[in-house]
Structure 1
Amino acid sequence: MSALRSKRKEYLSVKDLQKLLDSCKLHLNQIDEVWPNIYIGNVAVAQNKAALLKLGITHVLNAAHSKRGSIGNQSFYGSDFVYCGIPADDSTHFDLDVYFQPAADFIHKALKSPDGKVLVHCIMGMSRSSTLVLAYLMIYHHLPLKQALQKLIQKRAIYPNRNFLALLLDLDLQLTKKKKTCRIL
């Protein structure tokens, strides 16, 4: 019985993740560097090209592309930035997981480019953008979800919605299974 109980503890729930997020005591800023050369910010800072240039941002990943108040496309940013837009809704029904790999690939490629710095933003810089950065950390840095969350909340006040947390838990499970399969082979 105790072996079964300890096995169950390995699996996190959305509620566990929310408790972890609630432990963050940081105030929400317009922009924060959450990982070397990865910034999460809100739409106001994303539309301030002078501020982005000053920070040395080279790539912009907009997780609220074409949403109300979120101006952004390559022509808006011109040749100063490489732009990628993801038309995500911050809702309990949006399947953001279909964008986990493309967003992670964009971030990875941005960081590989000379002096690459990437801003990942949505409207507030709390849910959609942080979810995509968490997915990147899990996919490219092989961090378990809990560890990735702990790293981010040390740098920024984030709060992915329940749906996104559940999708990240699924990704965590898939990546864990993949790791185990690779070890066996």
Structure 2
Amino acid sequence: GAPLSIPQQPYLTGSQIKLEHVLDSCRMELNHVDEVWPNLYIGDILIAHDKEELRKLGITHVLNAAHSTWESKGDQAFYGQEIHYCGIAAEDSTNFNLREHFYPASDTIHLCFSFSGKILVHCVVGKSRSATLVLAYLMIYHHFSLTDAVQRVIQYRAISPNRGFLKQLQDLDVELRDRTNLCELL
């Protein structure tokens, strides 16, 4: 017979292994929605499609990291006038470049807060794509290191960004740290 092919796992660095241990230390149950920062919620597709529950939570903005996937019916027409909608057609794949969406998504979250709004960031399950975008927001706008951002979010929600997304967040972490160090030198 044909030889069995072994799927290639990306090589993990020491810092990635430490991050995965931090993520694995979370003992939270996975809920449909959790507030992980004041007025910032991470959720799944079920909460995103429950307009009554969103109204009860006071959600004014929805950032859908699974826009145009077959499970997601969310778009501006679905939410009507009550909720501002932003969709990112991201795949939960280690090869997908979510990094190009880190700054636009963070700006969307920040803009929501400038209107005293509440935002739901969601994907299908609410633990990889949406969590990655929220971690990037905490790093970009609140100057958290990646580890600090992860430790903050897992106090409120079980998250599990895929390894490709973790690598992209680590690259962002290095870039932000280098920028901070450069500013201190100037």
Query: TM-score normalised to the size of structure 1?
Result: 0.92
Residue equivalent to 1:34: 36
Please list every run of 5 or more consecutive structure 2 residues that lacks an aligned counterpart in the other structure. 1-12
Please say if 1:122 is aligned against 2:123.
Answer: yes
Moved beyond 4 Å, runs of 4+: none
Encode CA deviations 1:108-133: one digit per residue, 9 max, x unaligned: 0001103x000000000000000000
Please name the residue that 1:133 is paired with: 134
1:13-32, aligned counterparts within 5 Å?
13-32=15-34
Higher helix proportion: 1
Q: In structure 1, how many angstroms separate the alpha carbons of the residues matched to 2:154 and 2:170?
A: 17
Q: Report the CA distance shift for 1:15/1:148 in structure 2 as closer, same or farther (over 3 A).
A: same
- Contact kept, 8 Å, 1:63 with 1:87, in 2: the verdict is yes
Partner in structure 2 of residue 3 of structure 1: none
70, 73, 80: which one aligns with 2:75: 73
Residues 11-56 of structure 1, C-alpha deviation per residue, up to 9 Å, x if partnerless?
9622111110000000100000000000000000001011001100
Give the match for residue 4 of structure 1. Answer: none
Q: Secondary structure, in 3 states, of the residue corresponding to 1:178?
A: helix
Q: Kindly indicate whether residue 171 of structure 2 is the aligned counterpart of residue 170 of structure 1.
A: yes
Determine whether 1:46 maps to 2:48: yes
Report deviation, 1:96.
0.1
Q: For 1:92 and 1:146, how far apart are their aligned partners in 2? A: 20
- Matched residue pairs, number? 174
Q: Indicate the residue corresponding to 2:85 in structure 1.
A: 83
Aligned equivalents of 1:21, 1:130: Cα separation in 2 = 12
On the 8 A contact 1:12/1:169 being kept in 2, the answer is no
Cα distance in 2 for partners of 1:110, 1:96 equals 21
Matched residues in 2 for 1:183 and 1:12: separation? 28
Identical amino acids, percent of aligned pairs:
56
1:49-79 Cα deviation digits (max 9, x unpaired):
1100110000000000001201111111110
Q: State the match for 1:112 in structure 2.
A: 114
User: Residue 79 of structure 1: SS of its match in structure 2?
Assistant: coil
Deviations 1:57-109, CA, capped at 9 Å, x for gaps:
00000000001201111111110100000000000110000000000000000
| Amino acid paired to 1:47 | H
Offset from partner CA, 1:120-163 (integer Å, 9 cap, x none): 00000000000000000000000000000000000000000000
Q: Which amino acid aligns with 1:165?
A: L
Q: Normalising to structure 2: TM-score of the pair?
A: 0.92
- SS in structure 2 at match of 1:84: strand
